[in-house]
Amino acid sequence: MNRRQWMALSASTFAAGRRAAAAEQAPQGAQGGNAGRPLQDAALPLERYEPRSMLHVPETHVPRSRFPVIDFHTHITFAAGGGNPAAIRFSMDPANCLAVMDRKNIRTMVNVTGGYGAGLRDAIGKLQTALTGRFIVFTEPTWTRASDAGYSKFQADQIEDAHQAGAKGLKVLKTLGLFLREQGSQKLVRIDDPRFDLMWEAVGSLKMPVAIHTSDPEAFFLPIDRFNERWEELHAHPDWSFHGKDFPGNRELQEARRNVMRRHPRTQFVCLHVANAEDLPYVSECLDSHPNMNVDIAARIGELGRQPRTARKFFDRYQDRIVFGTDASAGTSTPQQTFGGALYEIYYRFLETEDEYFDYAPAPIPPQGRWRICGLGLSEQVLRKVYGENAARLIGLPA
Ligand SMILES: [Zn+2]
């Protein structure tokens, strides 16, 4: 049953249900035959708790975005793993993507994880070339070679090669900073390690923006205890925790990325997931000091929408540097990233309406944390820019 159906049903049954619940909670003796009966769900497990909002507030359905969308952050292809590091696999069929795109007013999807070499050419051929204007493909660094002698030059050449093949940007996963280690010592490689300087310069001179994911929600760096606001999410994905090992802290990772943006002012960076969505004052400070910094909103409307007044000011102030993204793919266990019409409708509702207290993901239990969000009701001018114009400028597409 969807929320709307439930609301309709609740209108007729809610009053009766409330009377029954009141009877159940009545003091002993008050109900005659029911005296002494234990509360039915006294030990309700958290994962089974699905409270439904009783607020009577507007529910706006936004089936299509007000302006054409460029989804700057999607994963249609992934590295395939296995023996050939360049091989990619498709997480979804481009024809199915197109059907959703047409229904939801999505002009273009940017497939950021296009890989490199033969895999990149495969992705470009089946997406960007076969369906011109509808798909854009980015390349990725060859992390497996990062400890090799001569890597800097090799990687810069790889960027040239990817550009010639048609790649429009570079994607850097959070691998850099959190997983990539030196081959011998197993030391984590720093985000601002000088071995990448030639790569950052190469993409800058080729006008390829860098889509860079650094660090993760702050709660992922804290103990998974009863104070952790993402306890359920971390409980479901314990491997997402960066607490108690040799990982740098969130701020240290963010500052290392700032060093890179500072050193490469001609290169445009799009810091994914609002850079650090829980700390908009810090992100604002970064945007103010680095004119080559931009952000996307992928998989962070749950953070933005629970601080709607701060977020609205943030969008107004940085309206030329925020791009629309979802982090969508298929076959994922995370509903906040599952490609489909339901996901886009939530994003549109968040950006366009002033609806209050609604779900940020198509899921019965909020998957990133037990809160709900409020819409921003952005102006037409800001919507135009965030939905498509800013991304078009960064990628070099017609407005
Ligand atoms: Zn992503």
144 in a domain, yes or no?
yes
d(CA 384, CA 392): 11
Tell me the CA–centroid distance for residue 329 and ligand 1, in Å.
9
C-alpha separations of 141 from 151, 179, 294 in Å: 11, 14, 20
First vs last C-alpha separation in the chain:
41
Q: What is the pLDDT of residue 118?
A: 95
Q: Does residue 17 fall inside a structural domain?
A: no
pLDDT for position 41: 66
pLDDT at 19: 40
Taking the centre of ligand 1 as the mean of its atom positions, its distance from the CA of residue 75, in whole angstroms, is: 7
Residue 320 lies in a domain: yes
- 327 CA to middle of ligand 1, Å? 4
CA of 261 to the centre of ligand 1 (A): 20
Q: How many CB atoms lie within 10 A of CB 193?
A: 18
The edge-to-edge listing of strands for the beta sheet with 135-137 is 69-74, 106-111, 135-137
Please tell me the predicted confidence (pLDDT) of residue 37: 55
- What's the total number of domains in the chain? 1
Alpha helices for the chain (secondary structure H): 3-25, 94-104, 117-123, 151-165, 175-178, 197-205, 231-236, 250-263, 280-289, 301-304, 308-317, 341-352, 380-384, 390-395
**94-135 residue pLDDT tens:** 999 999 999 999 999 999 999 999 999 999 999 999 999 999
CA of 77 to the centre of ligand 1 (A): 11
Question: What is the reported pLDDT for 332?
Answer: 84
Would residue 57 count as lying in a domain?
no
Is residue 245 classed exposed, middle or buried when 0-12, 13-18 and 19+ CB atoms within 10 A define those classes?
exposed
Give a yes or no: residue 113 inside a domain. yes
CATH number for the domain spanning 206: value is 3.20.20.140
User: What range does the domain containing 350 cover?
Assistant: 69-395
What is the pLDDT, as a whole number, of residue 39?
Answer: 61
Give the C-alpha separation, 206 to 200, whole Å: 10
Task: Map residue 77 onto helix, strand or coil.
Answer: strand
Find the 89 Cα to ligand 1 centroid distance in Å. Answer: 16
Task: Calculate how far, in angstroms, residue 337's C-alpha sits from the geometric centre of ligand 1.
Answer: 9
Provide block-wise average pLDDT over 10 residues at a time, the chain (399 residues). 45 40 42 53 88 96 98 95 86 95 98 97 98 97 96 98 98 98 97 98 98 98 97 95 96 98 98 98 98 98 98 98 97 90 98 98 94 98 98 94
Strand partners, 109: 71, 135
Decide if 177 is inside a domain. yes
Whole-number Å distance, alpha carbon 93 to ligand 1 midpoint, is 18
Q: pTM here?
A: 0.89
Give a yes or no: residue 335 inside a domain. Answer: yes
Each residue's pLDDT tens digit, 252-305: 999 999 999 999 999 999 999 999 999 999 999 999 999 999 999 999 999 999
Distance (Å) from CA 91 to ligand 1 centroid? 13
- pLDDT recorded at residue 349: 98
Rounded to the nearest angstrom, the distance between the alpha carbon of 392 and the centre of ligand 1 is 19
pLDDT value for 35:
52
Answer yes or no: are the C-beta atoms of 344 and 101 closer than 8 Å.
Answer: no
CA of 173 from ligand 1 middle (Å) equals: 7
Q: What is the pLDDT of residue 42?
A: 80
Q: Is residue 10 part of a domain?
A: no
